[in-house]
Amino acid sequence: MPKLAAQPQSIDFDIARTALVIIDMQRDFLEPGGFGESLGNDISLLRNAVAPCAVVLEAARAAEMLVIHTREGHLPDLSDAPPSKISRGQPSKRIGDIGPMGRILIRGEPGQDIIPELYPLPNEVVIDKPGKGAFYATEFGDVLKKHAIETLLVCGVTTEVCVHTTVREGNDRGYRCVVLGDCCASYFPEFHEAGLRMVRAQGGIFGWVSNSRQLLTALADV
């Protein structure tokens, strides 16, 4: 069984019972004119995660690991978007408004889709989620149960928002969540760092933190 170097300690994982979960690597968060930029963020800060994600995605595909992509977004009629989410803050455009990549954070629009660099293959699972966590109001938990998954290798954006929420949800459901730190990013570098520290503190209170290089090393030993 591969052993992954991680903090606060290394972790063995069974490839057949492990999923690579790539959270919300969507044009809406990483490209100009999307939801992330509408909130006033510097979207360039998220680019650091793209190349490491591409590397682990390729390795997971080669290892025939289950690959799951998630996308945050809402139905065109906004029936799954809480008014409290739509009205929040002073964004330049709100959820559902028309931007250069179509309606902001709406399912089926170009901006809500995954960035081309990490585009899912037809056999990979894509979970559309209305919230920050991948478990809330989705089939994600059922997919994990169907494949008898016990370990999640988690990548994506943003570290302290959708990655953290998903890891917290997964940890409470008994999944061993390993965050691949260099495959995640935040609009706030200090939140990224603190978010990773929060996961691994207290003996791994929410899970483990590793990185793309250590995962490749673990998979090379198989």
Using the rule CB under 6 A, give the single segment among 42-50, 118-126, 136-144, 155-163 that binds ligand TIU: 155-163
> How far, in Å, are 25, 36, 100, 104, 184 from residue 68 at the CA level?
12, 22, 27, 23, 15
Using the rule CB under 6 A, give the single segment among 48-56, 75-83, 90-98, 153-161 that binds ligand TIU: 153-161
Query: Which amino acid appears at position 78 of this protein?
Result: L
Pick from 4, 152, 162, 178: which binds ligand TIU (CB under 6 A)?
Answer: 162
Write each residue from 67 to 106 as x if it is in contact with ligand TIU (CB under 6 A), else as -, in one continuous string.
Answer: -----x----------------------------------
Cα–Cα dist 152/105, whole Å: 25
Q: Which are the catalytic amino acids?
A: 24, 129, 162
* Residue 157 sits in the site that holds ligand TIU (CB under 6 A): yes
Residues pairing with 184 in the sheet: 156
Nearer to ligand TIU, 8 or 91 (CB): 91
Cα–Cα dist 35/28, whole Å: 5
Two structure tokens written together for 10: 């290394």
Residues pairing with 210 in the sheet: 180
Cα–Cα dist 34/105, whole Å: 8
Cα–Cα dist 111/152, whole Å: 26
Cα–Cα dist 184/154, whole Å: 8
Write each residue from 166 to 205 as x if it is in contact with ligand TIU (CB under 6 A), else as -, in one continuous string.
Answer: ---------------------x------------------
* Residue 37 sits in the site that holds ligand TIU (CB under 6 A): no
* Residue 53 sits in the site that holds ligand TIU (CB under 6 A): no
CB of 74 to ligand TIU, least distance (A): 12
Phi-psi region of 183 (alpha: psi -120 to 50; beta: other; left: phi over 0): alpha
CB of 114 to ligand TIU, least distance (A): 12
* Residue 161 sits in the site that holds ligand TIU (CB under 6 A): yes
Contacts to ligand TIU by CB under 6 A? 24, 29, 39, 72, 132, 157-158, 161-162, 187
